[in-house]
Amino acid sequence: VITKVKARQILDSRGIPTVEVDLYTNKGMFRASAPSGATSGMYEAIELRDGDKGTYLGNGVSRAVKNINEKICEALVGMDPTLQAHVDQAMIDLDKMEKKNELGANAILAVSIAACKAGAAEKEATDLSGKTNLNLPVPAFTLISGGKHAGNNLAIQEIMILPVGAKKFEEAVQMGSETYHHLKAVITEKYGAHECNVGEDGGLAPNVARHVFREGLDLVKEAIDRTGYKERIKIALDVAATDFCIGTKYDLDWKSPNKSGLNFKSVEDMIEMYKELCTDYPIVSIEDPFDKEDWDHVKYFSGLGICQVLGDDLLMSNPKRIERAIRETACNALVLKVNQVGTVTEAIEVVKMAKDAHWGVVVSQRSGETEDSFIADLSVGLATGQIKAGAPCRGERLAKYNQATKVIELTGTLKHEGDGVAAVIGLD
């Protein structure tokens, strides 16, 4: 049983306060912490911040910590941590708000994850899916960062690689790391070492010029060529197009101080551009290709069947939006961010919804992360098939990839081994 829950404020990978929890049972102490995004949307659970501008610029989480140490601790002591749904429901009932803003989604999530770890230790298992044969996910490594995650002029948020031809997770990590280092060399040769700074999730962040998509993609393609892995590595994009949608246009120069207005694209231009890019580069997955409220064009684009179309800002891991997207066949894969939905139980529920609709599922990090590696276990435990945890670089990103590598020592092979990309992205 849960004997004590104790929280504290720590700093995340951006140096911004977040919540860490120690949950005690008869089996020991189980620790978890909450991540935080840069593109937080209005449909996601709300993290509680102090708002006192004199302390941590208003970002302190002492109220969330206090809520755990007093209210949540009192409600949970004596409960069985293997009954995850009961533990999570107790916190939802205590909070009463749809977006968990009373106790704070950061408080609730950290406790929920700690309880999951405690429950797993009790059951001596990490499997949440009820299956005995665990599959490891294909990692999406961020190689180039842009958008809100970096200070360069790249409009889109991430250019990632998927080592779909890897036979083992370890090999996928090796392929990701080697490509990353080749990319660093390519950028150094082309622009100089000063363009090798990194973005929030460890992706390299060179200032790429005019044809922002193509120049970044050419760099990545060159790096893949240098590895010799050829078609065993595919490319994925997170466009995060909501960030640069102005009315009905998309401003590819949105981060430039002297906006020329010459790089505005209509939604039709964007569709044409994606089609061309998918022909010219081995792109198999595109996340948020349009504004988060533009359901019609996402539907049209995913209907073309060119690539996996991921809903992140579109869905915000929100069950109502996922349900609508399934009903309207708006996209064909879910980005699951546990802190957007707020508890492990609700995360499992939305993964189930997505799987029942034969969607792909990517368990995802946030740009503000901690060393907590739980999402790796979640991805393996729910057999989601894909995980997105940033670059193969920086401790808080590697915590997840390294954890997945350790899980392979217990069991499992890479999901869809040898099946090719179509199976990986659910288009077969």
Among 221, 234, 292, 366, binds ligand PGA (CB under 6 A): 366
Is 337 noted as a catalytic residue in this protein? yes
Stretch that binds ligand PGA, among 98-106, 123-131, 363-371, 420-428 (CB under 6 A): 363-371
Given ligand PGA, Zn ion, none, residue 364, with its beta carbon under 5 to 8 Å by kind, binds ligand PGA
Q: What token pair was written down for 325?
A: 């997207």
Q: For residues 228 and 335, what is the distance between their CA atoms, to the nearest angstrom? A: 30
Q: Which is nearer to ligand PGA, 149 or 184 (CB)?
A: 149
Q: Which residues contact 107 (CB under 8 A, 6 or more apart)?
A: 7, 19, 34, 48, 61, 64, 65, 67, 68, 72
Amino acid at 260: S
Asked if 364 is part of the footprint of ligand PGA (rule: CB under 6 A), the reply reads: yes
Q: Is the dihedral of CA 379, 382, 385, 386 positive or negative?
A: negative
Given Zn ion, ligand PGA, none, residue 203, with its beta carbon under 5 to 8 Å by kind, binds none
Q: What token pair was written down for 56?
A: 């941590």
Tokens 């999530």 locate to 109
Q: Which residues contact 272 (CB under 8 A, 6 or more apart)?
A: none
Q: Annotate 236-263 with DSSP letters as a single string.
A: EEE--GGGGEETTEEETTTT-SS--STT
Helix (H, G, I), strand (E, B) or coil at 3: strand
Asked if 146 is part of the footprint of ligand PGA (rule: CB under 6 A), the reply reads: no
Q: Which is nearer to ligand PGA, 30 or 274 (CB)?
A: 274
Q: What are the start-end ranges of the H helices in 96-237?
A: 105-123, 169-191, 212-227
Tokens 């179509």 locate to 422
Q: Which is nearer to Zn ion, 12 or 238 (CB)?
A: 238
Q: Which is nearer to ligand PGA, 157 or 343 (CB)?
A: 157
The helix or strand, by DSSP H or E, that contains position 360, with its residue range, turns out to be strand 360-364
Stretch that binds ligand PGA, among 35-43, 317-325, 342-350, 406-414 (CB under 6 A): 35-43
User: CA 43, 46, 52 angle in degrees (round to 5)?
Assistant: 140
Q: Which is nearer to ligand PGA, 20 or 238 (CB)?
A: 238
Instruction: Find the shortest distance in angstroms from Cβ 275 to Zn ion.
Output: 21
**Contact mark string toward ligand PGA, 266..295, x via CB under 6 A:** ------------------------------
Asked if 201 is part of the footprint of Zn ion (rule: CB under 5 A), the reply reads: no
**Active-site residue, from 12, 88, 201, 243:** 201
Q: Which is nearer to ligand PGA, 73 or 336 (CB)?
A: 336
Using alpha carbons only, how large is the chain's radius of gyration in Å? 21
Cβ–Cβ under 8 Å, residues 37 and 107: no
Q: Which is nearer to Zn ion, 12 or 287 (CB)?
A: 287
**Contact mark string toward ligand PGA, 238..267, x via CB under 6 A:** x-x---------------------------
Instruction: Find the shortest distance in angstroms from Cβ 418 to ligand PGA.
Output: 28
Asked if 312 is part of the footprint of Zn ion (rule: CB under 5 A), the reply reads: yes
**Active-site residue, from 337, 355, 400, 415:** 337
Given Zn ion, ligand PGA, none, residue 1, with its beta carbon under 5 to 8 Å by kind, binds none
Instruction: Find the shortest distance in angstroms from Cβ 367 to ligand PGA.
Output: 3
Among 401, 10, 327, residue whose Cα is nearest residue 177:
401
Among 251, 253, 312, 377, binds ligand PGA (CB under 6 A): 312
Residues β-bridged to residue 368: 36
Q: In what order do the strands lie in the sheet with 28-33?
A: 2-11, 17-25, 28-33
Q: Which single residue brings its beta carbon nearest to Zn ion?
A: 312
Task: Name the site residues for ligand PGA (rule: CB under 6 A).
Answer: 37-39, 157, 238, 240, 312, 364, 366-367
Residues forming contacts to Zn ion in the complex (CB under 5 A) are: 238, 287, 312
Active site residues: 201, 337
